Amino acid sequence: MSVYSNEKRNGATVKPSGFRGGLEDFEKDDLSKPPFILNWTEVKLLGIAGVGFFLDAYDLFIINQVTSLLQWRFYNGAVLPATLSGLVKAAANIGSVIGQVSFGLMGDYFGRKAVYGKELMIIIVATIFCISAPSSAGGNGVLIWLSVWRIVLGIGVGADYPLSASVTGDRALIRKRGTMLCYIFSNQGWGNFVGSLVTMVVLACYKGSLDSTDPANYSKADGVWRIIVGLALIPAFGTLYQRLTLPESIRYKRAIENLPPPVDAEFAREGKNPDGGLEAGQSNAGAALPDNRPGFKQTYDAAGHPLPRANPDVLATEELDPSDVPKEVVRAEKRQYFKEFHQYFGQWRHLKILIGTAVCWFLLDIAFYGINLNSNIILAAMGFGGSTGTAYNRLFQVATGNLIVTALGFVPGYWFSIVTIEYLGRKPIQLMGFTMTALMLALLAGLFNRLDHGGFIALFTFLQFFFNFGANTTTFIYPIEVFPTKYRATAHGISAACGKCGAIAASFGFNSLVGPIGTANVLWIFFAVCILGIPFTLLLPETKGRDPDVILAEEEKAGLAPV
């Protein structure tokens, strides 16, 4: 890429395209490639931001394997105390609520750079304390210890949701933004897959001790669960430095300075005039904004219409030199953030969208975590419940069942979302996801006592597939794409926290209801929850190609939003 000299635009100095900060700037986009083909900079961003969701799934879903091991270590294979079992499974989600709201707010208030990486430090510390649980405390003591530190772990895991999503959304080109967010979130599937695979490998290493009927050998299970949990430290340490040194994005800096958003490179190269209409909300660039905006030299076509910059070698994220911005530019002071947030969401057209993103996530997580945090019941119906044989045989069966479901359902579901998100759109995928998961749950519930193992595997696999090629992915994407940069981390944190509240309710509710009403009736409750997600999805707009920063600027210009 060629380097251009500094130039003046409406009184402000614009840094040339050669002054690039790697991940600080967008890369040039190759429009000949589909959105799911990434360039090197996007792959680097994926590696930095994606590890959080890998650890999210690894740490959250590995607890099923850990509790099974604790059964043999301290209870000779007997069922864990119901209250403590529910607490240790819900602990990380309880912490996630705290982390999502608090770090989402801090990400908007202080900036992404100021807090990004701190959540990974919390995960590292909490993981170290989890694997340091004193066996001398006994089974109940270890479960309480794990519950406390998994709450702390959950704070770090929860914080990663709004921060990594915002860091990615701030940097992604509009035409690839949904795909990038899908890539980031798909690491949840890989975390689940690797968790099951690691469990099988470590169990195989301990086979000689656990493949025995002598209870004295069950103490070896202590080493298995500590190794499984402790291995999460490797990817955490591997990306900590990159997170702590990641620069602030251009889009965020422009947003808090009330400057127009950056122009996507593909519009500059195509020479198109992006649609800046308020109703359609499909604007993709700041070039269609008024020519008195600082930092832009407006040009016009023969008919007098504003044109974007046409130089294909100039990055879409040219950064204004802050020392040379005209004094008349009004910057948003951070101490006004809460007032601005209240004013923005005090308007019904914005509040109803936040309600939509939060309630959809809440409903989705009731069903998703209700199933996946208690998958041992479903796995038993599939023939992988580990109800017979030695400790090793039982544990290995459960891990194998998890691996099969993840490989057939989880991972393919995420990849279907990655490939189709920019073609089908977010709203159709979410509607389809809620509808199909409701159908699969209805079939599982209605045929629960009649299905053979193969039938359970098929239906449960399709259920997981449509969770992830559906609302489990789109609920994560929506808050980033529908809300402006200056509010998106907080809005994402609120929406995600509502989802975790659903997960907490499912963690305790599933165990409490299975006994009195039976598993099939609990699945009917999850069916109703998914059906309820459909009308709330209708509150949401389609966000494909939508730039919320441009929409906010146009609302302010039209007097529809406070400045």
Q: How far is CA 372 from the centre of its chain?
A: 17
Is the pLDDT assigned to residue 339 strictly greater than 60?
A: yes
pLDDT for 191-213, tens place per residue? 888 888 888 888 888 887 777 66
Give the residue-averaged pLDDT of 468-481: 94
Within-domain flag for 287: no
How many structural domains is the chain composed of?
1
Structure tokens at 118: 């701190």
Region of residue 175 (left: phi > 0; alpha: psi -120 to 50; beta: else): alpha
Mean pLDDT score across all residues of the chain: 78
pLDDT for 429-464, tens place per residue? 999 999 999 999 999 889 888 878 788 888 888 998
Instruction: Round to whole Å and give the CA distance between 229 and 216.
Output: 23
Is the pLDDT assigned to residue 356 strictly greater than 80?
A: yes
In DSSP terms, 12 is beta-bridged to 9
Within-domain flag for 377: yes
pLDDT band at 540 (very low <50, low <70, confident <90, very high): very high
Contacts of 171 (CB under 8 A, 6+ apart): 23, 26, 45, 249, 251
Range of the domain at 476: 40-250+343-550
Handedness of CA 330, 335, 336, 341 (dihedral sign): positive
Tell me what pLDDT residue 326 has. Answer: 42
Question: What CATH number is given to the structural domain containing 125?
Answer: 1.20.1250.20
- Residue whose tokens read 């099974």: 68
pLDDT for 166-186, tens place per residue? 999 998 888 899 999 999 998
Give the residue-averaged pLDDT of 531-536: 96
Within-domain flag for 325: no
- The model's pTM: 0.80
Q: Which residue has the higher pLDDT, 560 or 428?
A: 428
Count of H helices and E strands in the chain? Answer: 22, 4
Tell me what pLDDT residue 302 has. Answer: 52
Within-domain flag for 52: yes
pLDDT band at 385 (very low <50, low <70, confident <90, very high): low
Structure tokens at 367: 């069903």
Q: Which residue has the higher pLDDT, 408 or 11?
A: 408
Is the pLDDT assigned to residue 84 strictly greater than 70?
A: yes
- Between the alpha carbon of residue 73 and those of residues 138, 391, 479, the distances in Å are 10, 10, 43
Within-domain flag for 322: no
Within-domain flag for 312: no
Tell me what pLDDT residue 475 has. Answer: 95
Within-domain flag for 257: no
Q: Which residue has the higher pLDDT, 133 or 220?
A: 133
236-241 — which CB contacts under 8 Å span 24+ positions? Answer: 236/51, 236/55, 236/120, 236/123, 236/124, 236/127, 237/124, 238/51, 239/47, 239/48, 239/51, 239/120, 240/117, 240/120, 240/121, 240/124
Within-domain flag for 9: no
